[in-house]
C-alpha cells in the first residue's frame, strides 16, 4: 500500500524529457485540495451498470438458445478483421509467385513439363484463398439484433461511457447540446451521453443502416413498458447519413462502426465526413484488439495528415485522448505489436464482465482542457501496473511519443495517504524526470 501510495503522489502531468513544462507546479496546486484518489489524472470508472430503463427494456426480449448464440456472436465480433485490400493481395501474390517459381526452376530440367508456370499460379491462388481473411458484411435483422443485444449491449455501453468520461473529467465546462451517433446500433452512445450530460443534450441523431436495429433501439428507449413514451427525449433515428457539413453536432460518436466498413478508402471517407460534422469532439471506439487499434490509428493519421480540398472549418484537429502526442503510436513500432487498449469493468446481462476496448478522441483546435491551459504535459499508463517486491512497474506513453518503463518505490518517492483502485489496465498520469543513472545506463526517477 505504501508503494501504491507513493505512486499516487506522481499521478500528474508526464514529461519524459529532463525538462517539464509543469515543473513549476507543486503538489498543492495539482491536487487543489482534493484527495489523491481523485487527482486530475484519474478517469477510470467503477464497475458500470446499465441504466435501469435500458436494462428493463433488454430483459423483455426472449429468443431460443440466446445465451449460446450471443456467446458465439461475441467471439466472432472480437476476432473479426478488416477486409484484405487489393494492393496487399497483389503484393503477396507476386512475392509467392516469384519465390515458388525460383524454387521450381531449380528443380526443372530441359525435358520437364513446360506448364509449371500455370501450376505455380494455381498454387498461389490456392494459398491466398486459404490464408486470406474472408470478410463479409453483417446484415442485422430483428432476430440477429436481439442476439447482438445480449452479446454487446452492456460491454458497448461500458466502453463508450469510459471514453466519454475522459471528456467529462478533463473538460468539465463542456456541455453538448447535440449528438450524432454513426452506426448507432442499440443506442449505447445516446444512453452513455445522456448519463453524462442529461438534459443539456437537446438533440440525438442516431444513424444506422439497419432498420431492424433502429426499431430495437427505439423499443429499448421505452424501457420495455407498454407505453410509447421514450425515457430519453429528442432522439431521431436515420438509416442514411446526413453528409452536409453545414450542420455540425457538438459531439460525434462512432462506436464499433469503422470496423464494419468494407475498405480502407470507405473508412477514410467516413472519418473525414464525421470530422466535418464535428463541432467540438469526435469520439471513435473499437474493440481492444490489434485490428481495432490499427483502425483507430488509420483514422488518426487521416485526420492529422490528410489535407482537404475544401475547408469547411478552419479549426484543426487535436488529439485529445488517449494519446499524449501526435507522433506515430510507439506500440505500433515495437515487436511484437501490442494494441493500446483499456479495460472497463461492467455488469452485463446477467453476469459481471470486463470490456477491453480502444478509443480515440479528437477535438477542434480551439477547445482546451484545464490541464492543457496550464501548460501541463500528460502521459498515460498503457499496460497493467505490476506489483513487485518493494516497488511497482509502470509502462507509460510519453508526450514525446515514446514508451517508457517506470519503477516506483516507497523509499524513493515517499508515502501518500491513498490511491485510486488499480484495475488491470488503469488510465492515470505520472509526472517525473528521467535522469541517467551513473551505472549500467539505466534511469532513475525523481519527483518534481
Q: Give the CATH number for residue 354.
A: 3.40.50.150
Across the range 93-107, mean pLDDT stands at: 79
Which of 7-21, 233-247, 351-365, 370-384: highest mean pLDDT?
233-247
Distances (CA, A) of 168 to 150, 161, 172, 282, 435: 28, 10, 5, 14, 35
The reported pLDDT for the residue numbered 6 is: 40
The reported pLDDT for the residue numbered 35 is: 67
Where does residue 196 rank: exposed (0-12), middle (13-18), buried (19+ CB within 10 A)? buried
More confident residue, 11 or 244: 244
User: Is pLDDT of 290 > 90?
Assistant: yes
Across the range 128-156, mean pLDDT stands at: 93
More confident residue, 99 or 340: 340
Q: Does 328 lie in the same domain as 192?
A: yes
Q: What's the CA gap between 423 and 385, in Å, rounded?
A: 8
| pLDDT class of 443 with cuts at 50, 70, 90 | very low
Q: What's the CA gap between 135 and 80, in Å, rounded?
A: 8
Q: What's the CA gap between 446 and 12, in Å, rounded?
A: 13
More confident residue, 360 or 447: 360
User: Is pLDDT of 444 > 50?
Assistant: no
Across the range 242-264, mean pLDDT stands at: 94
| pLDDT class of 319 with cuts at 50, 70, 90 | very high
User: Is pLDDT of 431 > 90?
Assistant: no
Q: Does 330 lie in the same domain as 398?
A: no
Last residue of a domain, one of 96, 115, 131: 131
Q: Does 179 lie in the same domain as 263?
A: yes
Give tens-digit pLDDT for 197-224.
Answer: 999 999 999 999 999 999 999 999 998 7
Q: Does 398 lie in the same domain as 317?
A: no
Last residue of a domain, one of 315, 347, 370: 370
The reported pLDDT for the residue numbered 428 is: 39
Across the range 267-295, mean pLDDT stands at: 97
The reported pLDDT for the residue numbered 9 is: 37
Q: Does 254 lie in the same domain as 329?
A: yes
Q: Does 316 lie in the same domain as 243?
A: yes
The reported pLDDT for the residue numbered 20 is: 34
- Among 97, 74, 125, 89, smallest CA distance to 264 is for 89
The reported pLDDT for the residue numbered 341 is: 94
Q: What's the CA gap between 286 and 340, in Å, rounded?
A: 11
Whole-model pTM above 0.85? no
The reported pLDDT for the residue numbered 433 is: 41
Q: Does 153 lie in the same domain as 12?
A: no
State the residue range of the domain holding 412: 2-41+378-446
More confident residue, 408 or 352: 408
Work out how many domains the chain is built from and give that number.
3
Q: Does 72 lie in the same domain as 91?
A: no
More confident residue, 383 or 49: 49
Q: What's the CA gap between 419 and 396, in Å, rounded?
A: 18
State what percent of residues in the chain have pLDDT above 70.
76
Q: Does 321 lie in the same domain as 215?
A: yes
Q: Does 398 lie in the same domain as 340?
A: no
The reported pLDDT for the residue numbered 99 is: 83
Q: What's the CA gap between 229 and 221, in Å, rounded?
A: 8
Residues in the chain: 448
Which of 134-148, 348-362, 390-404: highest mean pLDDT?
134-148
Q: Does 224 lie in the same domain as 149?
A: yes
The reported pLDDT for the residue numbered 343 is: 93
Where does residue 100 rank: exposed (0-12), middle (13-18), buried (19+ CB within 10 A)? middle
Last residue of a domain, one of 342, 370, 398: 370
Q: Which is it for strands 353-364 and 317-321: parallel, antiparallel or unpaired?
A: antiparallel
Cβ contacts of 187 within 8 Å, gap of 6 or more: 181, 206, 217, 220, 221, 235
Q: Does 391 lie in the same domain as 353?
A: no
Q: What's the CA gap between 150 and 70, in Å, rounded?
A: 6
Among all chains, which residue has been given the C-alpha cell 442499440?
186
Cβ contacts of 345 within 8 Å, gap of 6 or more: 46, 47, 48, 158, 352, 353, 354, 355, 423
The reported pLDDT for the residue numbered 328 is: 93
**Contact (CB, 8 A) for 367 and 174:** yes
First to last CA, the chain: 22
State what percent of residues in the chain have pLDDT above 90.
47
Amino acid at each position: 500500500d505504501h508503494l501504491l501510495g507513493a505512486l499516487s503522489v506522481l499521478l500528474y502531468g508526464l514529461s519524459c524529457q529532463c525538462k517539464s513544462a509543469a515543473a513549476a507546479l507543486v503538489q498543492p496546486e495539482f491536487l487543489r485540495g482534493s484527495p489523491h484518489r481523485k487527482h486530475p489524472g484519474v478517469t477510470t470508472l467503477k464497475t458500470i451498470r446499465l441504466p435501469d430503463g435500458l436494462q428493463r427494456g433488454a430483459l423483455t426480449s426472449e429468443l431460443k438458445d440466446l445465451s449460446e448464440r450471443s456467446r458465439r456472436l461475441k467471439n466472432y465480433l472480437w476476432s473479426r478483421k478488416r477486409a484484405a485490400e487489393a494492393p496487399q493481395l497483389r503484393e503477396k501474390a507476386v512475392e509467392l509467385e516469384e519465390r515458388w517459381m525460383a524454387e521450381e526452376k531449380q528443380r526443372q530440367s530441359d525435358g520437364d513439363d513446360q506448364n509449371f508456370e500455370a501450376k505455380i499460379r494455381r498454387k498461389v491462388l490456392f494459398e491466398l484463398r486459404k490464408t486470406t481473411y474472408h470478410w463479409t458484411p453483417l446484415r442485422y435483422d430483428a432476430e440477429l439484433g436481439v442476439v447482438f443485444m445480449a452479446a454487446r449491449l452492456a460491454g458497448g455501453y461500458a466502453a463508450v461511457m469510459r471514453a466519454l468520461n475522459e471528456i467529462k473529467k478533463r473538460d468539465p465546462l463542456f456541455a453538448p447540446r447535440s449528438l450524432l451517433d454513426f452506426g448507432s446500433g442499440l443506442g449505447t452512445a445516446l444512453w452513455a451521453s445522456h448519463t453524462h450530460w442529461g438534459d443539456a443534450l437537446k438533440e440525438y441523431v442516431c444513424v444506422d443502416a439497419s432498420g431492424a436495429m433502429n426499431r430495437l433501439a427505439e423499443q429499448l428507449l421505452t424501457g420495455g413498458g407498454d407505453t410509447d413514451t421514450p425515457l430519453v427525449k429528442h432522439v431521431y433515428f436515420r438509416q442514411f447519413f446526413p453528409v452536409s457539413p453545414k450542420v455540425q453536432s457538438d459531439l460525434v460518436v462512432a462506436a464499433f462502426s469503422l470496423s464494419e466498413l468494407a475498405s480502407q478508402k470507405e473508412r477514410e471517407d467516413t472519418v473525414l465526413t464525421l470530422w466535418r460534422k464535428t463541432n467540438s469532439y469526435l469520439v471513435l471506439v473499437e474493440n481492444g484488439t490489434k485490428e481495432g487499434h490499427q483502425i483507430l490509428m488509420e483514422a488518426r493519421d487521416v485526420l492529422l495528415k490528410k489535407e482537404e480540398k475544401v475547408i469547411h472549418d478552419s479549426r484543426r484537429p487535436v488529439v485529445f485522448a488517449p494519446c499524449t502526442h501526435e507522433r506515430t503510436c510507439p506500440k505500433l513500432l515495437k515487436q511484437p505489436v501490442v494494441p493500446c487498449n483499456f479495460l472497463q469493468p461492467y455488469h452485463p446481462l446477467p453476469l459481471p464482465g470486463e470490456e477491453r476496448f480502444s478509443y480515440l478522441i479528437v477535438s477542434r483546435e480551439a477547445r482546451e482542457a484545464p490541464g492543457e491551459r496550464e501548460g501541463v504535459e500528460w502521459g498515460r499508463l498503457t499496460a497493467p501496473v505490476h506489483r513487485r517486491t518493494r516497488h511497482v512497474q509502470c509502462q507509460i506513453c510519453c508526450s514525446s511519443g515514446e514508451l517508457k518503463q517506470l519503477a516506483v518505490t516507497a523509499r524513493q518517492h515517499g508515502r501518500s495517504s491513498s490511491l485510486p483502485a488499480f484495475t488491470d489496465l488503469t488510465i492515470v498520469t505520472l509526472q517525473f524526470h528521467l535522469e541517467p543513472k551513473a551505472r549500467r545506463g539505466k534511469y532513475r526517477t525523481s519527483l518534481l
